[in-house]
Amino acid sequence: MKKFEDKDRYEYDLMPDDVVIDAGGYEGNFAGIIGEKYCCHVELFEPVPRFMTQIWKRIAHLPKVRPNLAGLGATTRFDTFHVQGDSSGLFAGASEVVTAQVLAITDLLEWKEFERGCALMKLNVEGAEFEILEALIKPENQRLLAKVRNIQVQFHPIVPEYGTRYVAIRDALLRTHEMTYCEPWCWENYCLLEC
């Protein structure tokens, strides 16, 4: 495994007809860079309405980048997000809150946009990555997990039992994916073993 450098987050073998998930879009920078570099489709998810203004400014020239005013999780529901800049999320603890829709990752991967799979799923969701990945690694969801070629994730040690949960997720992912880079509690990437 190579030593992690920040540029690795943008170095993928993506084609114009590939679809990318950007969960935790914040200001749209990741989606913007990927959209500009690869001209691929990006489904961006951001649950905080006031961040959408910056997202639209960032991606306005990229017709294949589509912002969705929603978060991702294990279940479809409405939930309370604490707004705290780039640390906004379910576990942020800030006094400003918004109620937003959360889409189940398993439902999302059934969308017609993902019939051919998901080339890259980026998760920077301030703790929600645990429930998202725990849903995907369940035995009944292995077909959906196999549709995701790369999983780029930033784990946040802010949820209950994060250490034990992290080890279980990592061990399960390593059965189907290979870790290509890892900067602990910063960024990790898992690439489908068949790619």
DSSP-derived 3-state class of residue 122:
strand
Q: What is the residue-level pLDDT of the chain in tens, covering all 195 positions?
A: 778 999 999 999 999 999 999 999 999 999 999 999 999 999 999 999 999 999 999 999 999 999 999 999 999 999 887 777 666 666 767 678 889 899 999 999 999 999 999 999 999 998 899 999 999 999 999 999 999 999 999 999 989 999 999 999 999 999 999 999 999 999 999 999 975
> Domains (ranges, CATH) in the chain?
24-192 (3.40.50.150)
SS3 content of the chain, % helix, strand, coil (to 5): 30, 30, 40
Query: How far apart are the C-alpha atoms of 191 and 195, rounded to whole Å?
Result: 7
- How many Å apart are CA 21 and CA 42, to the nearest integer? 6
